[in-house]
Structure 1
């Protein structure tokens, strides 16, 4: 049996369904976050402080983090030597999101497009899978 290599931190139900549907739990451990983008990024930041390394950028895509409710980030599974670059990126991404939310809160109309935002975030995750040669 293959060892779990990566952790997927997400609040996106479509990513969760995709991982389960294609049994990606053999390579990915799913860490579900109840909340919004900022909650996912806070969890990612915390994991980086414990020695996990970012495998995807927390601010992937052209949609501002204060506009979308969904975020999926992948880190390596095993804690290792502290990767200061991952910590820096995770911290900056988290605080940039908080700053944007303070200046321009998430629009109420976001709820009208939840499915669209979930599909966009899933597509970024699928792109990551493609880069690993795992696209389904």
Structure 2
């Protein structure tokens, strides 16, 4: 499984709890829209979404962090994943055009990182990797 993220807390969590044999981290420099662009590209090249790119109730223009889990398919592409990834990326760009990321977002980076990590932990729990 691939973990596409720009969240240092997710990266540290995977490394600290030795989840790297199970997950490959794809580190993305940048913001949520950069992560979603990478996710979109990977879905076009034969990966399937295991988590939704727009998890949670935080608008994508309000959080700098995003983590998405994918798996490589052996056969043809997953068109539902491609469509979901495309729509998620376009929706994020639309949000950012209408309402840019808040200027004082740096004050809340820690909080946003923890929220994104909690979504990742929920995925781990749902697939039985943590209890």
TM-score, with length taken from structure 1:
0.94
Total equivalences in the alignment: 131
- Which residue in the other structure is 1:125 paired with? 120
4+ aligned runs moved over 2 Å, structure 1: 77-80
CA distance in 1, matches of 2:78, 2:103: 37
TM-score, with length taken from structure 2:
0.97
Q: Output one character per residue of 1:3-62: Cα deviation in whole Å (capped at 9) or x when no partner.
A: xxx000000000000000001001000000000000000000000000100000000000
- Which residue in the other structure is 2:89 paired with? 94
- Which residue in the other structure is 1:25 paired with? 20
Query: Does residue 60 in structure 1 map to residue 55 in structure 2?
Result: yes
Q: Which runs of 5 or more structure 2 residues have no equivalent in the other structure?
A: none
- Which residue in the other structure is 1:108 paired with? 103
Q: Which runs of 5 or more structure 1 residues have no equivalent in the other structure?
A: 1-5
CA distance in 2, matches of 1:78, 1:86: 11
- Computed over aligned residues only, the root mean square deviation of the Cα atoms, in angstroms, reads 0.9
